Amino acid sequence: MIQHPGNVFVVSAPSGAGKSTLTQRLVRSVPDLSFSISFTTRKPRPGEVDGRDYFFIDDARFDALVAEGGLVEWVEVYGRRYGTGRAWLDGVLATGRDILLDIETTGAMNLRRAMPEARMIFILPPSAAALEQRLRSRGQDSDEQIHIRMQHAKHELELYSAYDYLILNDDLELAYRQFESIVLAARAARERMAPAARRILEGF
Ligand code: ADP
Ligand code: 5GP
């Protein structure tokens, strides 16, 4: 029998701050931690798999989910919509697994209202110059796209004070240890561990 529902962690970061690097390692290393699978109306990119990277759905289906209250939060970015499925989220949490939601800042603010117990994590780049350098060295974006991403990064960073944890991703190893520590420490919280403590006591 499950003694406790899972914890919800939300992670946001400006593009290029190192969110993918950190989250991929975390999900590989920490047991019983699921990574979010959102609904989206955007088309799959090469290599993306429906039901693994996203649930890829059309506009009509997304409209229906919104109408029936099936999304905990959702946003529209450049005409594409992204949302976190309520049934999916509840289903994972009910198994006792923790969940890591990768959502942008507007959705994160909405999720916080819907789930005040969620732990909000923001990944900071060391500086604006370092962020631009990382975007360039990743080699995925044109100069114009980098300019747009840098503008957008500023808007996202301005919301840092709404997050519970700010991880400075300068030294990757240290940033990763902080990230992992947040998840592991949450698992030791008294309210989560109290049933185990009572069970142990009963054995005396
Ligand atoms: P995001 O998912 O936030 O867009 P990525 O994880 O793709 O960012 O990282 C952007 C680039 O920066 C990648 O080339 C990655 O290898 C590099 N990077 C990530 N963390 C660090 C770090 N601490 N120091 C130097 N480079 C890093
Ligand atoms: P991409 O199209 O590159 O996969 O994702 C674009 C952005 O959408 C990322 O910043 C990602 O964090 C965000 N995103 C993905 N899923 C969701 C979601 O369910 N809700 C919200 N609010 N943002 C999401």
Residue 26 lies in a domain: yes
Nearest ligand for residue 19 CA = 1
Considering the domain boundaries, does residue 87 fall inside one? no
Measured from CB, residues less than 6 Å from any atom of ligand 1 are 13, 15-21, 134, 137-138, 169-170, 172, 175
What H or E segment, with its residue span, contains residue 12?
A: strand 8-12
- Helix/strand/coil for 43: coil
Give the distance (Å) from ligand 1 centre to CA of residue 17: 6
Tally of structural domains, the chain:
1
Query: pLDDT class for 3, splitting at 50, 70, 90?
Result: low
Does a structural domain hold residue 139? Answer: yes
pTM of the model: 0.93
Q: How far is the CA of 148 from the centre of ligand 2 (A)?
A: 17
Mean pLDDT of the chain: 94
* Within a domain: 42: no
The whole-number pLDDT of residue 140 equals 85
Alpha-carbon dihedral of residues 195, 91, 52, 59, nearest 10 degrees? -150
What ligand is nearest to the CA atom of residue 174?
1
Write the DSSP assignment of the chain as a string of letters. --SSPPPEEEEE--TTSSHHHHHHHHHHHSTTEEEP-EEE-SPPPTT--BTTTEEE--HHHHHHHHHTT-EEEEEEETTEEEEEEHHHHHHHHHTT-EEEEE--HHHHHHHHHH-TTPEEEEEEPS-HHHHHHHHHHHT-S-HHHHHHHHHHHHHHHTTGGG-SEEEE-SSHHHHHHHHHHHHHHHHT-HHHHHHHHHHHHHT-
- In angstroms, what is the span from residue 21 Cα to ligand 1's centroid? 6
Give the atom of ligand 1 at the shortest distance from the alpha carbon of 126.
23
Is residue 8 within 8 A of residue 181, CB to CB? The reply is no
Give 139's contacts (C-beta < 8 A, 6+ positions apart): none
What average pLDDT does this structure show over 160-177? 98
Read off the pLDDT band of 5 (50, 70, 90). Answer: confident
Residue 3 lies in a domain: no
The percentage of residues in the chain with a pLDDT greater than 70, rounded to a whole number, is: 98
Q: Tens digit of pLDDT for each residue in 35-77?
A: 999 999 999 999 999 999 999 999 999 999 999 999 999 999 8
Confirm whether 104 is domain-assigned.
Answer: yes
CA of 122 to the centre of ligand 1 (A): 14
Which residue segment(s) compose the domain that 177 sits in? Answer: 8-36+97-202
Q: What gap in Å lies between CA 159 and CA 60, rounded to an integer? A: 32
Is residue 156 in some structural domain?
A: yes
1 has pLDDT over 60: no
Is residue 184 domain-resident? Answer: yes
Q: Indicate which atom in ligand 1 lies nearest the CA of residue 17.
A: 3
Tokens of 101: 């939601």
Specify the CATH number for the domain of residue 129.
3.40.50.300
